[in-house]
Amino acid sequence: MKFKGGIHPQYNKGTAALPVEEMPLGARYVVPLAQHLGAPGKPVVAKGDRVGRGQPLSEPGGFVSVAVHAPTSGKVTAVKELPHPLGLEMTAVEIEADGEDAWWEGVQPRGAWREMDPAALRDALRDAGLVGMGGATFPTHVKLSPPKDKPIGTFILNGAECEPYLTSDHRVMLEQPREVMEGVGLFMKVLGVTKAYVGVEANKADALDALKAACPPDLDVAFALLEVKYPQGSEKQLIYALTGRTVPAGGLPMDVGCLVQNVGTAVAAYEAIAKGWPLIQRVTTVTGAAIRQPKNLRLRVGTPLGDVLAFCGGLTEDVAKVVYGGPMMGIAQFSLDVPIIKGTSGVLCLPDAEVVQYLADACIRCGACVDACPMGLLPSTLGVLCERDRWEDLEDFNVADCIECGSCAFCCPAYRPLVQLIKRGKAELRRIQKMRQQGAA
Amino acid sequence: MIVATTVMAGLGLLAGLGLGLAARFFAVEVDPRQEKILDVLPGANCGGCGYAGCNDFAAAVARGEAAPDGCPVGGAETAVAVARIMGLVVEEKERRVALVLCQGTREVAPSKFRYNGMASCASAALLAGGDKLCRWGCLGLADCQVACAFQAIEITEGGIARVIPERCTACGKCVAACPKDLIKLVPESAPIHVLCSSRDKGPVARKACQVACIGCKKCEKFVGDESMKVEDWLALVDYDHPPRDPAVAGECPTGAIVELHLDAKKPVH
């Protein structure tokens, strides 16, 4: 099935044919305590401590929170505020690598997932610091703990990778199909579901074939080649495309009995159980016309961005923008001191010629954004309401359902910064709703 | 012809009678003081009092809900006039003026990146707190200027907001509009002001802006009383008992403390 709306940007997936390279060990790592949605963790190490590879550096700060782990063995040189990819300074653990890369003694295989208890698996995934690696970084164990009245019947593996430029998931599916499918089985076991779907965009048919070939015979999995359209990899659009179910406004996938996980998360889950590895590495695409040698890299979480760019031959002189993530939803960085974090699926380096500054104009009510919005919202109306500070009216137009995919801004002939307007509106509305709640209490 | 005239005249009389009766029986009683109060209010309809325009405020005063000195625009004169209508006495309050507590122009306060999004402070502040290295400082995208109904705010060449004291009515709209909470209403006679809002530690603040308060406490020691105090690396003036000796400005090593005479020019309204 095809979801409504969406756009067809230029894909620029030139790195799809490049095998994943292991980045050599660096000298310094910076591991922020907040790399997930939810409460940041509390540090459990202090300056001067020696840590082993995979040793926990923090403990969760609540249920919706996970620990972070040492990417390599070495000495803790600081626990302080350091630049974070979200733009602010946040508490991070700085580690000076000792070059031995020795595993912490607590890192031990947990067993075979087929023989383990679902609750034990879930706890092990939480202790491994697992988060959704597609970019949203929602703690995996929370997703795997649905409330009793919302049973999950369908597991979906997200291999769409619809963001232009990014090829990290594509490479993972090609190079580690067995790990991906074992991860799918593991998630199915935790949830107690018998049916799973794997969705991959049609421009990555080789990846789907690889997964099909690697699927263990005891799993009931349906493989689907999806239309190449952005944002195919968005949870709600993917669920509709595969099952025909529509997540209600303001709802979550569990409201229609579904749970979606990214392919990178599946590999990390498998490794967390089979090898006992916490989430300390990931595959990241470093690409764009402003990087000398685009690569798909296996990186330790905490590697400084500057080191990564240097390993890829460095930036060209005409670089204008370095973005974490893809061009549609990524976050531009202003410092090369930020580290790679669990959710960094790509680093996009754009030259001056490709960073175009448009002059926004008034809305001409053409409705192009309405056709493009995959959530069925009215971006034009939302934009105008935001411009006029009519925050409370945004509620009537379901602004909270906006997934900030950028399809509206992409197709707007008046170059209106619709996503920026709507993001501001969402923030203002949240503030008003909070005030309302406090007033009622 | 005669019939038509008679019918029309009759209809006219009937309608007139209806209107007359309606005016008598459905009349809404308005407190006569409300109209009198409305007459003495400035009529700016700015909403600075917290009500939906001057008429709404006048009604609230007449009902006894709002205080007679609730109009910040009219100031002391209006408060006295309103109080007289209501048969009340108000204490005369000193006129206040809005002041932007930041002087980090683009020359002295460097940027950390080039912002090319929407020209609104509130939007810019959502991206890493804004493009200035100092996360407390004025972004200069004029949210306060847009909010001001009295054209009392300008954006200087250095790219920061400045209040024109003689135009300011202290309605407080700019205070609410600033996402960085940089604007404060201060008594016009206070001579000493700390034009900085950075609560960063001294070295951090200094790196982000040459005219930042670094929390060195020299001013606190110089005044020797409660009139100035350093909290979280930021010197604060106690505007209930402000320091009077202008020499304290000379003590500040970064120039964050300045002497200003906001009452030098009287309001033009």
User: Are A391 and A432 a contacting pair, CB within 8 Å?
Assistant: yes
- CATH class of domain segment(s) B96-259: alpha beta
- B112 close contact with A: CB closer than 8 A: yes
CA distance A319 to A347: 13
Model pTM? 0.86
Q: Is B127 on the interface with A (CB under 8 A)?
A: yes
Fold of A113-274: Rossmann fold (3.40.50)
Residues of B in contact with A423 (CB under 8 A): 123, 126
Give chain A as a 3 state SS string.
CCCCCCECCCCCCHHHHCCEEECCCCCEEEEECCCCCCCCCEECCCCCCEECECCECEECCCCCCCCCECCCCEEEEEEEEEECCCCCEEEEEEEEECCCCCECCCCCCCCCHHHCCHHHHHHHHHHCCCECCCCCCCEHHHHCCCCCCCCCCEEEEEECCCCCCCCHHHHHHHHCHHHHHHHHHHHHHHHCCCEEEEEEEHHHHHHHHHHHHHCCCCCCEEEEEECCCECCCCHHHHHHHHHCCCCCCCCCHHHHCEEEEEHHHHHHHHHHHHCCCCCCEEEEEEECCCECCCEEEEEECCCEHHHHHHHCCCECCCEEEEEECCCCCCEEECCCCCECCCCCCEEEEEEHHHCCCCCCCCCCCCCHHHHHCCCCCCHHHHHHHHHCCCCCHHHHCCHHHCCCCCHHHHHCCCCCCHHHHHHHHHHHHHHHHHHHHHHHC
Which of B120, B122, B128 is closest, CB to CB, to A87? B128
Give yes or no for a contact between A235 and A153, defined as CB atoms under 8 angstroms apart: no
A117-131 per-position pLDDT tens digit: 999 999 999 999 999
In the CATH hierarchy, which fold is given to the domain comprising B29-93? 3-methyladenine DNA Glycosylase II; Chain A, domain 3 (1.10.15)
Question: B268 pLDDT exceeds 60?
Answer: no
So what's the ipTM on this one? Answer: 0.82
B55–A contact, CB cutoff 8 A: no
Q: Do B128 and A335 touch (CB under 8 A)?
A: no
CA-to-CA distance for A143 and A113, rounded, in angstroms? Answer: 18
Which residue of chain B is at minimal alpha-carbon distance from A84? B128
Which of B111, B116, B134 has the most A C-beta neighbours within 10 Å, making it the best mutation to test the interface with A? B116
pLDDT digits (tens, 9 = 90+) for B110-160: 999 989 888 999 999 998 899 999 999 999 999 999 999 889 999 999 999
How is chain A split into domains, by residue range?
113-274, 368-440
* Per-residue buried b or exposed e for A362-372, using 16+ beta carbons within 10 Å of the residue's own CB: ebeeeebbbeb
Chain B residues touching residue A334 (CB < 8 angstroms): 112-113, 128
- Contact between B126 and A88 using a beta-carbon 8 Å cutoff: no
- Of B222, B226, B223, B200, which Cα lies nearest the Cα of B213? B200
Residue B267 has pLDDT above 80, yes or no: no
A153 touches chain B (CB under 8 A): no
Question: Greater confidence, B266 or A53?
Answer: A53
* Cis peptide bond upstream of A177, omega within 30: no
Interface contact A332-B113, CB threshold 8 A: yes
H or E stretch at B32: helix B32-40
Output the six-digit token pair for B84: 């007289």
Facing residue for B113 by CB, picked from A88, A334, A357 = A334
Return residue ranges of chain B for CATH 1.10.15.40: 29-93
Task: Kindly determine whether residue A360 and residue B113, on different chains, have CB atoms separated by under 8 Å.
Answer: no
How many residues make up chain B in this entry? 269
The H or E element containing residue B202 is helix B202-208
Kindly report the number of other CB atoms within 10 A of residue B150's CB atom. Answer: 20
- Helix (H, G, I), strand (E, B), or coil: what is residue B55? helix
Closest CA–CA distance from residue A143 to any residue of chain B (Å): 28
Looking at chain B, the whole-number percentage of residues with pLDDT higher than 70 is 98
Average pLDDT value for chain A: 95
Please tell me which of the candidates B112, B113, B126 has its beta carbon nearest to residue A423: B126
Q: Which residues of chain B lie closer than 8 angstroms to A360, CB-CB?
A: 118
List CB contacts of A437: < 8 A, sequence separation 6 or more: none
> Which two tokens mark B52?
């939906």
Q: Which chain A residues contact residue B127 at CB under 8 A?
A: 87
- In the predicted model, what is the mean pLDDT of chain B? 91
**Residue B266: per-residue pLDDT:** 59
Q: How far is A417 from chain B (nearest CA, A)?
A: 7
Answer whether A225 touches B (CB < 8 Å). Answer: no
pLDDT over 90 at A48, yes or no = yes
pLDDT value for B265? 61
Which residue of chain B has the CA closest to A422? Answer: B123
Q: How far apart are CA B220 and CA A405, in angstroms?
A: 52
Using CB atoms within 10 Å of the CB of residue A167, give its burial: 0 to 12 exposed, 13 to 18 middle, 19+ buried: buried
Q: Which residue of B has its CA nearest to A428?
A: B122
In angstroms, the Cα distances linking A38 to A35, A295, A404 are 9, 31, 19
Flag whether pLDDT at A398 surpasses 80.
Answer: yes
For A136, phi then psi, to 5°, come to -80, -20
pLDDT digits (tens, 9 = 90+) for B155-183: 999 999 999 999 998 889 999 999 999 99
**pLDDT bracket for residue B44 (50, 70, 90):** confident
Residue type, A93: V
Binned at pLDDT 50, 70 and 90, residue B87 comes out as: confident
User: Closest chain B residue to A360 measured between Cα atoms?
Assistant: B118
Give the span between the Cα atoms of A315 and A404, in whole angstroms.
29
To the nearest whole angstrom, how far is the Cα of B206 from the nearest Cα of chain A? Answer: 17
- Chain A residues within an 8 Å CB radius of B129: 87-88
What's the pLDDT tens digit per position in B207-237? 999 999 999 999 999 998 889 999 999 999 9
B232 touches chain A (CB under 8 A): no
Short-list A131, A115, A130, A378, CA closest to A276:
A130
DSSP element (H, E) containing B34: helix B32-40
Query: Which is more confident, A286 or B90?
Result: A286
Chain B's closest residue to A86, CA to CA, is B128
Beta strands A295-300 and A281-287 are antiparallel
Q: Of B117, B120, B128, which is closest to A334 when you measure between CB atoms?
A: B128
Percent of chain A with pLDDT strictly greater than 70: 100
CB B234 within 8 A of CB B219: no
Are the CB atoms for A304 and A28 separated by under 8 Å? Answer: yes
* pLDDT at residue A5 is higher than 60: yes
Q: Is A427 on the interface with B (CB under 8 A)?
A: yes
Radius of gyration of chain B (CA): 26
Residues of chain B with CATH 3.30.70.20: 96-259
CA A249 to chain centre: 22
**Would an 8 Å CB–CB cutoff place B146 in contact with chain A?**
no
> Using CA of residue B128, residue B130, residue B131, residue B136, what is the dihedral sign?
negative
What is the reported pLDDT for B75? Answer: 79
